[in-house]
Structure 1
Amino acid sequence: MDRTSALDAAPRYSAAGRVLHWLVVLFVLVVLPFGAVIKFVKEDVKLTFYMIHESLGFLVLWIMLARLAVRLVKKPPPPLPMPAWEHRLAATVHWALYAALILMPITGFLATNAFGFPLRWFNLVPIPSPIGKSDAAPYIMAVHVTLAYTILVLIGLHLLGVLQHHILRRDGTLYRML
C-alpha cells in the first residue's frame, strides 16, 4: 500500500487530536533532554536550564489536559483489525502515557515548590505554589524521575507498535495520526 492510498484509507484522529499529539512530541523531545542534563551544566546557566525545563513541562501539562479533553469529547477512529491482546496492550500503553505525561509535570512542579523554588513561567508569569518548602521534596522528585524513565519505556513501546504496524503489517495505523 503506497503512502497516498494508506493515508486516504486510514480513519484518522481529529485534527485537534493530531495537532496536540505532535505538540506533545515536540515539547517532550526538548523537555526530557533539558531535565537530563541540568545536573551537568555550569552553575551560571543552571537556573536558565531549570526555568526552560519547568516552563516547557508546565506547558506539556496543559497540552496533555487539552489532549485528554479532546480524546474524551471526540471519539477516536475505530481500531484497525488486530488481535484482542494487541489492542489491549496498545490501549494500556496509550492510557499509561497520558497518565505519565500529566503526572510528570505535576510532580516536577510540586517538587520544585517543595525545594523552595516557585515556578515563574518563562520568567514572566508567577504560578502560585500549592505547597511551600517541604521535607517531602526529595520523595516528590524521586517520583518525578521515576516517571521520566517510565515515559521513556512507554514511548519505546509506542514506537515499537508504530514500527510493527508500519513496517511488518503495512497497514494505515501510522497515518491515523498524520
Structure 2
Amino acid sequence: MMMTSEDERYAGRVRILHWLIAGLVLATWPLGFVIGFVKDDVKLDFYLVHESLGFLVLWLMLVRIGARLTSATPLVEGPPLEKAAAHLVHGLLYVFLIVMPVSGFLATNAHGFPLEWFGLFTVWSPIGKTPDIAFVLSAIHGWSAWILLALFALHFAAVVFHHVIRRDGTLYRIL
C-alpha cells in the first residue's frame, strides 16, 4: 500500500473540515430519519438537535468551500472517466450539503417554527411562517437527504475501491 506525501494531500484545514462535516452528517442524517418514529414527548428535542446540527453543517460547508477555493488541490491520477465521475460525485456532494440544510432551515421556518440553535438563541428567519411553500421545502429537504445518502454510498464505495482493490494512496490524501 502506498503512502501519500504531504504535498499530495489536501490542506490541513480542508481535511479537518471534511471529517468534521462527515461526522456531523453521519449524526444528523439518522437523527432526522428517526424523528418520525419517536414519542411526541421527545420529538421536539430530536428536532432541536437535528436542526441545530444541520445549521452547523451549512456554515461549516460554506467555510469548507472557501478553504477548498483557497487551497491547492492534489493532482488526481487515473482514467479520464474515473476522474470525471469523482469530480461529479464530489461536486454533487457539495451541492447537496448546501441544499439539504438550507431547505431544512427554510422548511422549519415556513412551517412556523423558528430555529432555536441548540436552545441558545433564535436564528433569524428570512421567510417566516409561509405554509404555502412549507410542503415544497420539506419535500426538497427529504429528497436531498436520500440523494445525499446515495452520493455518500458512491463516495464510500470509491474509497473502498481505491484503498482495498487498487491499494493506491487516494485515501491518504484526505487523512
TM over 0.5: yes
State the 1:168 CA deviation. Answer: 1.2
Counterparts of 2:124 and 2:6, CA distance in 1? 47
Residue number in structure 2 paired with 1:13? 10
1:173 alignment partner AA: T
Counterparts of 2:93 and 2:58, CA distance in 1? 12
Query: Runs of 5+ in structure 1 lacking a partner?
Result: none
Task: State which of 59, 66, 73 in structure 1 corresponds to 2:63.
Answer: 66
Counterparts of 1:10 and 1:28, CA distance in 2? 28
2:84 alignment partner AA: R
Task: State which of 92, 107, 110 in structure 2 corresponds to 1:111.
Answer: 107
Residue number in structure 1 paired with 2:118? 122
Residue number in structure 2 paired with 1:29? 26
Residue 3 of structure 2 aligns to a residue whose secondary structure is helix
Q: Map Cα deviations across residues 142-172 of structure 1 (whole Å, 9 max, x no partner).
A: 0000000000000011011111111111100
Q: Map Cα deviations across residues 56-113 of structure 1 (whole Å, 9 max, x no partner).
A: 000000111111000101021111x210000000000001000100111000000000
1:100 alignment partner AA: F
Residue 120 of structure 1 aligns to a residue whose secondary structure is strand
State the 1:120 CA deviation. Answer: 1.0
State the 1:9 CA deviation. Answer: 7.3
Contact 1:7 1:175 in 2 (8 A): yes
Counterparts of 1:132 and 1:9, CA distance in 2? 47
CA RMSD of aligned residues (A): 1.1
Counterparts of 1:90 and 1:51, CA distance in 2? 34
State the number of aligned residues: 174
Residue number in structure 1 paired with 2:36? 39
State the 1:8 CA deviation. Answer: 3.7
Identical amino acids, percent of aligned pairs? 52
Contact 1:10 1:173 in 2 (8 A): no
State the 1:7 CA deviation. Answer: 3.9
Residue number in structure 1 paired with 2:171? 174
Contact 1:118 1:129 in 2 (8 A): yes
Contact 1:31 1:57 in 2 (8 A): yes
Contact 1:7 1:172 in 2 (8 A): yes
Task: State which of 74, 91, 98 in structure 2 corresponds to 1:95.
Answer: 91
Q: Under a length normalisation based on structure 1, what TM-score does the superposition of the two structures give?
A: 0.95
2:108 alignment partner AA: T
Runs of 4+ off more than 6 Å: none
| 1:143 and 2:140 aligned | yes
Contact 1:9 1:172 in 2 (8 A): no
